[in-house]
């Protein structure tokens, strides 16, 4: 079938072992055009642009969710990471179940892999809270003639979702922005980790937020790693790090109280730097990572200018909080 062949061909570049930036950018553009054409839908309207606001953050509207494809390093690293996780699981299991929580209108990160893996051995659940996105996804599935694959599309809030008895072996969610602000990656992972099997793989495997320093002056000439200095990690999303939250009696993710972190920076360490920043790093799966500034998801976020009246040190108190606008709250104490 021609559409299936096109999808395989267009997405080959995402699975190539070395990154050829111009080729990858072109592949992402072609992938996007292909998906828009195949779905035959106009997403740029009021329904498409409307985010859904929930008590633990927002869910991006269909138009915005579709745009995520443009962040092509993100898209590549996730596709490769999910592919490897599926291969690994299939080595030890006859059949596996993959849950994609927050598929958006195109199931962008999984769609290229469905045709590349056994239709008898892999079952997929594609879940999103946005009915307009799922209307488009269902149309795409029909146009790609994927009916013979084990695919279930579910409209649900992933922060409330009860996993089925056939517990997923792999759970994928990319519902985040840099600094884990605004969207619902953390409450979604907590809800799903609480119910998953001990060996369920979560993708991304690990997200780390670190406090860092940004150099003074005009930085355009400097390579990125010389502009910023990572000081210490203050919040981590992974099965290991969220262990305490999973045992918490709090029923809603918003009730979970994360530990407060205190980081002291001596005055001499601040020399040459003018701003405090929050740095995001993502381990998607195994060696597939999204390093600092490689994607919109890992762009540094400026917290504050370094105060001028520092005598000995500054202390950054930080705590991740889930609310209608989740974020790492921080407070700077000058000493
Ligand atoms: C950042 S977009 C990513 C879309 C697509 N997965 C991709 O990577 O290109 C996040 C998607 O997650 C969905 N989402 C966010 N919060 C959700 C929730 N609580 N339950 C279900 N879906 C959610 C949004 O509707 C949106 O489609």
Separation of CA 253 and ligand 1 centre (Å): 17
In the prediction, which pLDDT does 246 show?
Answer: 80
Question: What residues have CB less than 8 Å from 123, skipping those under 6 apart?
Answer: 95, 96, 97, 98, 150, 151, 152, 166
Residue 73 pLDDT > 80, yes or no?
yes
- Give the structural domain span for 282: 2-334
In the prediction, which pLDDT does 301 show?
Answer: 97
Residue 232 pLDDT > 80, yes or no?
yes
Q: What is the CATH number of the domain that holds 59?
A: 3.40.50.150
In the prediction, which pLDDT does 223 show?
Answer: 86
Q: Which residue from 148, 107, 145 is spatially nearest to 125, judged by alpha carbons?
A: 107
Q: What are the Cα distances from residue 154, in Å, to 19, 130, 210? A: 34, 10, 35
Strands 170-172 and 96-101, by their bridges, are parallel
Place of tokens 């559409």: 3
Residue nearest to atom 1 of ligand 1 (CA): 175
Strands 301-305 and 273-285, by their bridges, are antiparallel
In the prediction, which pLDDT does 216 show?
Answer: 80
For ligand 1, is residue 203 a contact (CB within 6 Å)?
A: no
Q: What is the pLDDT of residues 16-72, one digit of tens each?
A: 999 999 999 999 999 999 999 999 988 999 999 999 999 999 999 999 999 999 999
For ligand 1, is residue 205 a contact (CB within 6 Å)?
A: no
Estimate the crossing angle of helix 21-39 against helix 2-10, to 10 degrees.
150
Separation of CA 272 and ligand 1 centre (Å): 40
Separation of CA 200 and ligand 1 centre (Å): 20
pLDDT bracket for residue 302 (50, 70, 90): very high
pLDDT bracket for residue 245 (50, 70, 90): confident
For ligand 1, is residue 169 a contact (CB within 6 Å)?
A: no
Q: Where are the beta strands (DSSP E) in the chain?
A: 52-54, 57-59, 96-101, 122-128, 150-155, 170-172, 201-203, 206-215, 228-237, 261-266, 273-285, 288-290, 301-305, 313-321, 327-334
Residue nearest to atom 11 of ligand 1 (CA): 102
For ligand 1, is residue 104 a contact (CB within 6 Å)?
A: yes
- Number of domains within the chain: 1
Paired tokens of 229: 């200095």
Distance between CA atoms of 321 and 275, rounded to whole angstroms? 23
User: Dihedrals φ, ψ of 89, to 5°?
Assistant: -65, -35
Residue nearest to atom 12 of ligand 1 (CA): 102
Place of tokens 């199931």: 107
pLDDT > 70: percent of the chain? 100
Residue nearest to atom 27 of ligand 1 (CA): 104
Ligand 1 atom nearest 188 alpha carbon: 19
Q: What is the pLDDT of residues 111-140, one digit of tens each?
A: 999 999 999 999 999 999 999 999 999 999
In the prediction, which pLDDT does 177 show?
Answer: 97
In the prediction, which pLDDT does 255 show?
Answer: 86
Separation of CA 10 and ligand 1 centre (Å): 23
DSSP 142-180: HHTT-TTSEEEEEE--TTTPPPPSS--SEEE-----GGG
In the prediction, which pLDDT does 251 show?
Answer: 75
For ligand 1, is residue 129 a contact (CB within 6 Å)?
A: yes
In the prediction, which pLDDT does 22 show?
Answer: 97
For ligand 1, is residue 65 a contact (CB within 6 Å)?
A: yes
Residue nearest to atom 15 of ligand 1 (CA): 59
In the prediction, which pLDDT does 291 show?
Answer: 97
Q: What is the mean pLDDT of the chain?
A: 95
In the prediction, which pLDDT does 313 show?
Answer: 96
Distance between CA atoms of 99 and 162, rounded to whole angstroms? 12
pLDDT bracket for residue 154 (50, 70, 90): very high
Distance between CA atoms of 177 and 102, rounded to whole angstroms? 13
Query: Best mutation site among 65, 72, 189 for ligand 1, i.e. most ligand atoms within 8 A of its Cβ?
Result: 65
Ligand 1 atom nearest 133 alpha carbon: 27
pLDDT bracket for residue 193 (50, 70, 90): very high
Check: CB of residue 201 under 8 Å from CB of residue 82. Answer: no
Distance between CA atoms of 56 and 164, rounded to whole angstroms? 23
Mean pLDDT on 214-241 = 90
pLDDT bracket for residue 14 (50, 70, 90): very high
Q: What is the pLDDT of residues 75-92, one digit of tens each?
A: 999 999 999 999 999 999
Check: CB of residue 180 under 8 Å from CB of residue 186. Answer: yes
Does residue 100 sit in helix, strand or coil? strand
Paired tokens of 192: 């799903």
Residue nearest to atom 23 of ligand 1 (CA): 102
Q: What is the pLDDT of residues 249-293, one digit of tens each?
A: 777 777 889 999 999 999 999 999 999 999 999 999 999 999 999
Separation of CA 102 and ligand 1 centre (Å): 3
Separation of CA 149 and ligand 1 centre (Å): 22
For ligand 1, is residue 157 a contact (CB within 6 Å)?
A: yes
């Amino acid at each position: 079938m021609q559409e299936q062949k096109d999808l395989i061909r267009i997405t080959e570049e995402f699975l190539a072992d070395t990154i050829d930036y111009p080729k990858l950018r072109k592949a992402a553009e072609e992938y996007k055009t292909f998906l828009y054409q195949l779905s035959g839908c106009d997403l740029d309207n009021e329904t498409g642009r409307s985010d859904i606001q929930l008590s633990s953050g927002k869910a991006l509207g269909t138009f915005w969710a579709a745009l995520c494809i443009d962040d092509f390093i993100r898209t590549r690293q996730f596709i490769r990471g999910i592919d490897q996780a599926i291969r690994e699981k299939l080595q030890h299991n006859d059949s596996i179940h993959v849950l994609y929580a927050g598929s958006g209108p195109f199931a962008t990160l999984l769609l290229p892999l469905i045709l590349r893996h056994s239709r008898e051995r892999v079952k997929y659940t594609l879940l999103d809270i946005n009915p307009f996105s799922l209307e488009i996804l269902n149309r795409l599935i029909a146009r790609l003639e994927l009916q013979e694959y084990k695919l279930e599309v579910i409209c649900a809030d992933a922060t409330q979702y009860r996993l089925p008895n056939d517990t997923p072996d792999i759970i994928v969610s990319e519902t985040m922005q840099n600094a884990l602000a605004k969207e619902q990656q953390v409450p979604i992972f907590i809800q799903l980790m609480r119910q998953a099997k001990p060996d369920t793989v979560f993708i991304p495997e690990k997200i780390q937020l670190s406090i860092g320093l940004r150099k003074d002056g005009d930085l355009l000439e400097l390579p990125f790693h010389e502009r910023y200095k990572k000081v210490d990690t203050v919040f981590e999303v992974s099965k290991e790090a969220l262990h305490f939250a999973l045992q918490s009696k709090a029923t809603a993710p918003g009730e979970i109280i994360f530990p407060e972190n205190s980081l002291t920076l001596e005055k001499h360490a601040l020399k040459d730097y003018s701003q405090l920043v929050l740095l995001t790093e993502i381990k998607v799966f195994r060696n597939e990572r999204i390093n600092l500034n490689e994607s919109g998801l890992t762009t540094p976020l400026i917290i504050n200018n370094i105060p001028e009246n520092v005598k000995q040190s500054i202390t950054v108190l930080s705590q991740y909080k889930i609310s209608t606008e989740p974020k790492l709250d921080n407070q700077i104490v000058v000493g």
